[in-house]
Chain A
């Protein structure tokens, strides 16, 4: 596809000459760099609750963000009206961050190479609403059929297709179409007069509806949510104190996202406020740990052909055999720190300034079998599901909240345990990783990462790992 056949020229008649003239307005006060970020997002969502399809909604959001950089300063403005005078006005507003005569000649925009990590035959929003409703009805039926103790089922489906166009004063012109679809199921179960318990599962990715016909079926997520709720009915109080923790494969990779990932985002390190600042080349994890952030994995929720500054995503090694290797860079931080963007500049929407973010963050597999790892623990906790986490990047302290855990006694799995938060310190906790499984798994595609008020979709993954020492926040 060439530029003229892409979304914005076709739908709004934008030409390269228009883009060049907007960029020159943006640099009219002497900024060093400017970019335009056009975005059009079409969303659809459906919800079933109590067996009734209660909600069906569609939405359109459209706008352009204008950014001007001058040294370390950023000027930003946006408009949801794509008429030329409104765009020019936004360019003038953002331009005022700089204070001097224009110094950039005519831009001369050129298209970079294109790639397609998420070819989709039929975009979700090109299917009929009925096809999409069927997904949540299937989830509802499967969850109710799982066990008679299930008494509430809520399932939702959401998709969006995001069209973006980026033009920079360095002459880069790039565009992308980013589909996303997702199914979620929440189940409540109860036994007699006991307290109800909740289970949750979901998944999706950058693909069309066909994905829900294979391993990511609504039935599978429904049964998984029901299984978790039923399991909780017999759970005992979580223990309190330091102990050996074994993480199951997949979604527990949220550990890496909190303990390591955020602290390696370049903006924090440029400013020297991260617990990982100035520690490149140092040992920050056991030699069993190699941690990667990879935005190029096909159809993954955290993947993007290019980041929101028009740079191609790549596979970034964050920690190699325990040694800190690199930060996640965007344009601004890489310019100021010296170096190149790692394709990590992302933003929630045209109303937001890009900053360094993760994509899909995971640990490479090791040699141990999961059975060996559990067998090695005399007493500890096995955690397989989490509801999320957070981190204070300056002290390095992070928490992540387990929602499905089991006792380990003498190398065997024991009773299920109620949910509890786990807490540790980023640069320290990973040194206690003493076994890494051969069963690397990525999550199902439900991750949302929040930073400074901006949410972006991400992925995580991890093999089964043994952490010799971690604080578990139970009551017992």
Chain B
């Protein structure tokens, strides 16, 4: 039904004078259960829908969105988009993808599972309780909890445009989490663990999630500050993901055409150490960055972004590609309407062969990072300075917890200083990384 609506909206826009049009219609159903100290704390259940349109009148763009999908609501939206196009400027690069780029890959991406839809509320609540209970039982120093939770989300997204594309993508997700609080003396520390999957049988078990969360919270107790020094830094996979996120921003066509990236003009050059190969692949089944077509209707494809340290491609939508005289890489994304921006599919750093213990074993003095805080990353010039917490490494072993420190460097140098990655690549969302070790960064403390 939403696919038909998307097609109808495009037709209506053309009738009202648009030269080109593209429409997204989305619907979603959310359920969330949170428990605290063994009792249900909150249950939430609801569904919502929305539509958005972008029109071109000549080379001028206008957009509108609505959650009112009545006939009148949709008509108002189309007219608003056309009105908005009257105040924009001719942009020679504005346009839709070439027809040859449009289409959907012919693979079941397993992004939707009926099993999520069929989960009973009681079962979901029991899972949340089990995760929290496992955390509370793990150690006597776990004295409190911000709770356990189990959430599900089901959504459908239809997209149509005036070049004949019409597609529908459905997705499901379920997730389980625990946030225990550990206490020793007057000092409290909290941490969390979670698991998220497209289908319930891919989730980590509730008691494992609880135990890992508790282990992490307890491990932080007695954290100290260390003195300011330059040392090797190891990022656990959950945290190393954020570095991949920074790299993505730097290779996004949006940053490149504005010359707002420290990787501008570096195509074909060495930008990272020889150990680094970074892939963007929306065609892997069952993951959170998997899609059959992007948000402009362009067929999904795998790209090697960095090959053994050499920058191979930037990531583009139709607009950023045209600006730079190249082709879209199928990385368009958008909310319901508006101009497309650039997003990644499954964006990951290929695993190496080392265990995290091996990576730590050679370090005399260094930092194992388990938390990063704050913004502090400037993709324009590469400056990097973030709050951190983790474990201090002494003579090749995790010695004691540290917090209230920062780590700083510049992304240009950090990428070149990455040593052989760990073997522990795992997907917990659409960006993934194994354990990463950087030769040296500045730790600031007392």
Contacts and interface: CB of A to CB of B under 8 A. Distances in A.
B is a partner of A: yes
B162 interface: no
A473 B44 CA distance: 41
B228 A273 contact: no
Given A55-B339, A474-B442, A397 B43 contact: no
B380 A197 contact: yes
A473 B376 contact: yes
A423 B67 contact: no
A269 to B, nearest CB: 12
A198 interface: yes
A52 B341 CA distance: 17
A315 interface: no
A388 interface: yes
Nearest to B373: A399
A56 B406 contact: no
Interface stretch (A77-85, A104-112, A294-302): A77-85
Interface stretch (A58-66, A165-173, A436-444): A58-66
A471 B402 CA distance: 14
A74 to B, nearest CB: 4
A76 B44 CA distance: 5
A196 interface: yes
Contacts of B405: 423, 471, 473
B387 A53 contact: no
Contact of B378 (A351, A389, A419): A419
B61 to A, nearest CB: 6
B88 A55 contact: yes
Contacts of B61: 54-56
Interface stretch (B78-86, B98-106, B267-275): B78-86
Given A54-B339, A96-B43, A400-B374, A421 B386 contact: yes
A152 B260 contact: yes
B204 interface: no
Contacts of B260: 152, 188, 196, 198
B386 A399 contact: yes
Contact of B40 (A46, A97, A132, A151): A97
B443 to A, nearest CB: 8
A85 to B, nearest CB: 14
Given A60-B73, A74-B42, A394 B189 contact: yes
Contact of A80 (B49, B404, B442): B49
A52 B92 CA distance: 10
Given A46-B87, A241-B444, A273-B146, A471 B406 contact: yes
Contact of A196 (B52, B380, B404): B380
A147 B301 CA distance: 43
B408 A58 contact: no
A471 B339 contact: no
B426 interface: no
B84 A129 contact: yes
B240 to A, nearest CB: 19
A398 B61 CA distance: 42
A414 interface: no
A250 interface: no
A473 B444 contact: yes
Interface residues of A, number: 77
Given A56-B85, A60-B77, A61-B67, A151 B259 contact: yes
Max count, chain B CB within 10 A of own CB: residue among A60, A62, A75: A60
Interface in B25-52: 36, 39-50, 52
B289 interface: no
A5 interface: no
A188 B187 CA distance: 44
B188 A395 contact: yes
A59 B42 contact: no
Interface string B390-411: 0000000000000111111110
A142 interface: no
Nearest to A239: B444
A395 B189 contact: yes
Interface string A428-467: 0000000000000000000000000000000000000000
B375 A401 contact: yes
A393 to B, nearest CB: 8
Contacts of A399: 373-374, 376, 386-387, 406
B404 A56 contact: no
A18 B88 CA distance: 43
Given A271-B36, A473-B386, A474-B444, A240 B228 contact: yes
A353 interface: yes
B63 A424 contact: no
B152 to A, nearest CB: 15
A52 to B, nearest CB: 5
A93 interface: yes
Given A52-B91, A392-B190, A72 B376 contact: no
Contacts of A63: 48, 67
A390 B374 contact: yes
Contacts of A391: 373
Contact of B181 (A77, A353, A394): A394
A167 B67 CA distance: 22
B226 to A, nearest CB: 11
Nearest to B147: A271
B284 interface: no
Contacts of B118: none
B424 interface: no
Interface in A366-414: 387-392, 394-395, 397-401
B331 interface: no
Nearest to A196: B380
A272 interface: yes
A472 interface: yes
Contact of A420 (B49, B373, B376): B376
A474 to B, nearest CB: 6
A197 to B, nearest CB: 6
B62 interface: yes
A208 B41 CA distance: 41
B408 A73 contact: no
Max count, chain B CB within 10 A of own CB: residue among A50, A52, A76, A425: A52
B63 A56 contact: yes
Interface in B171-194: 181, 187-190
Contacts of A73: 39-43
Interface string B324-363: 0000000000001111000000000000000000000000
Nearest to A76: B44
A130 interface: yes
Contacts of B298: none
A79 B258 contact: no
Contacts of B403: 395, 397
Contacts of B445: 241-242, 471
Contact of B48 (A78, A232, A241, A271): A78
26 contacts: A55-B61, A55-B63, A55-B88, A60-B68, A63-B67, A72-B39, A72-B41, A78-B46, A78-B48, A79-B48, A152-B258, A188-B260, A241-B444, A273-B144, A273-B146, A387-B375, A392-B373, A394-B181, A394-B189, A397-B373, A397-B389, A424-B404, A471-B444, A473-B405, A475-B410, A475-B442
Interface of B: 36, 39-50, 52, 61-68, 73, 76-77, 80-81, 83-91, 94, 144, 146, 181, 187-190, 220, 223, 225, 228, 258-260, 262, 336-339, 371, 373-376, 378, 380-383, 385-387, 389, 403-410, 442, 444-446
Given A56-B63, A61-B67, 5 more contacts: A57-B81, A62-B67, A188-B380, A273-B146, A423-B406
